[in-house]
């Protein structure tokens, strides 16, 4: 662990939580607010980027990624700090999940830190300003850098109308994105995971792939899958993705399982929501390997789930991932984890 990591874990993070009354979501909002203010200070970002940037370009599914480490969806839902993430060492950022209609998400409290387990439980519920607001923001200013946009179904939209809901968000946002991630796997929107079923998923993908093909610049579509699907269900999902022309798979979303929690965190096990962080690592690796095996490498994979160290990231690549994403480790241990992982992957590929 570097000096920066130790300083964050033992000084800065406890201070942030103390100032926020121990509420994880307040810490999140204050952190993102500070980063959003930094977003328009290029004079500060440039020297920061010079220290953290890792040049390890790779092209996956027709998209150039400056390095293999991305910020997973959920941190910067509405794209408020897009210039900051590259300066912190990320090769790409995925904003969202964004829905057609703006929505407040689920009632608070809805975000919980499980420090002993190096994990987080969230039941945010796609809180975001909506597709139109993000499109307007990107119309005004779309910073350079590789950008993914995650889209999900609005809570108010009935499942039978999901296709139209996704198509609206895709139509408003795809022109700003280097890739679009289809989120049908969050456990925090009622019924959403049913859209991973063969018929429902095929209907959505068929519509979005056709919409992409009609654009001047076709936008790759990635599908984010749940770790809680059986291997058989995952194999069926992958067959649909191959048949419908999906660009790649993001493996995985958060889990509704609670295995791997430390004794000190068992009191939180009954909290509803998706678990991320270290307890998800093993299953995420299994899913990455399954995707690579079932598709013969035909579908690239972004590995996400429990990645904190360079060894964790290298294990994802060894399992078949082309790219990795980080979120919980960044939130729990600070920005020092990012350049360390990116540099290790450059070395591993070199």
Catalytic residue positions, numbered: 186
Contact 274, 256 (CB under 8 A): yes
Nearest-Å Rg of the Cα atoms of the chain is 19
* Nearest CA among 78, 205, 95, 99 for reference residue 156: 99
183 class by beta-carbon count within 10 Å (0-12 exposed, 13-18 middle, 19+ buried): buried
Q: How far apart are the first and last CA of the chain?
A: 23
Which three-class secondary structure string do you get for 75-109?
Answer: CCCCCCCCCHHHHCCCCEEEEEEECCCCECCCCCC
DSSP 107: P
Q: Which residue has the tokens 């952190």?
A: 31
Contact 123, 106 (CB under 8 A): yes
Which pair of structure tokens corresponds to residue 160?
């039978």
Contact 90, 345 (CB under 8 A): no
d(CA 121, CA 112): 5
Contact 323, 178 (CB under 8 A): no
Strand 58-60 vs strand 146-151: parallel, antiparallel, or unpaired? unpaired
**Three-state SS for 33?**
helix
d(CA 326, CA 233): 25
Strand partners, 222: 181, 248
Helix, strand, coil percentages (3-state) for the chain, rounded to 5, are 45, 15, 35
Q: Report whether the peptide linkage leading into residue 109 is cis, meaning its omega lies within 30 degrees of zero.
A: yes
Which pair of structure tokens corresponds to residue 257?
């399982």
């Amino acid at each position: 662990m570097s000096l920066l990591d130790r300083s964050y874990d033992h000084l800065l993070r406890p201070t942030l939580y103390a100032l926020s009354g121990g509420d994880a979501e307040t810490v999140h909002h204050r952190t993102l607010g500070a980063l959003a203010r930094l977003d328009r200070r290029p004079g500060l970002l440039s020297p920061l980027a010079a220290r953290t940037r890792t040049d390890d370009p790779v092209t996956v599914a027709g998209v150039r990624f400056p390095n293999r480490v991305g910020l997973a969806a959920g941190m910067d839902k509405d794209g408020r700090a897009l210039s900051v993430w590259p300066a912190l060492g990320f090769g790409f950022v995925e904003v969202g999940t964004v829905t057609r209609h703006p929505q407040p998400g689920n009632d608070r409290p809805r975000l919980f830190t499980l420090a002993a387990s190096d994990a987080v439980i969230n039941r945010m519920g796609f809180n975001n300003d909506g597709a139109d607001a993000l499109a307007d923001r990107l119309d005004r200013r779309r910073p350079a850098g590789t950008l993914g946009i995650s889209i999900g179904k609005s809570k108010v939209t009935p499942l039978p109308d999901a296709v139209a809901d996704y198509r609206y968000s895709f139509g408003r946002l795809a022109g700003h994105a280097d890739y679009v991630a289809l989120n049908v796997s969050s456990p925090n929107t009622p019924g959403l995971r049913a859209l991973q079923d063969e018929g429902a998923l095929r209907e959505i993908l068929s519509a979005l792939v056709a919409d992409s093909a009609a654009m001047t610049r076709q936008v790759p579509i990635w599908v984010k899958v749940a770790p809680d699907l059986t291997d058989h269900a995952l194999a069926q999902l992958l067959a649909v993705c191959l048949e419908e022309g999906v660009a790649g798979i993001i493996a995985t979303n958060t889990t509704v399982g609670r295995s791997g929690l430390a004794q000190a965190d068992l009191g939180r096990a009954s909290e509803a929501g998706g678990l991320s962080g270290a307890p998800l690592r093993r299953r995420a690796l299994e899913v990455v390997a399954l995707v690579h095996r079932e598709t013969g490498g035909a579908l690239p994979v972004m590995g996400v789930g429990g990645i904190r160290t360079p060894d964790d990231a290298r294990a994802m690549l060894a399992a078949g991932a082309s790219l990795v994403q980080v979120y919980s480790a960044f939130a729990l241990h600070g920005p020092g984890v990012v350049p360390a992982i990116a540099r290790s992957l450059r070395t591993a590929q070199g």
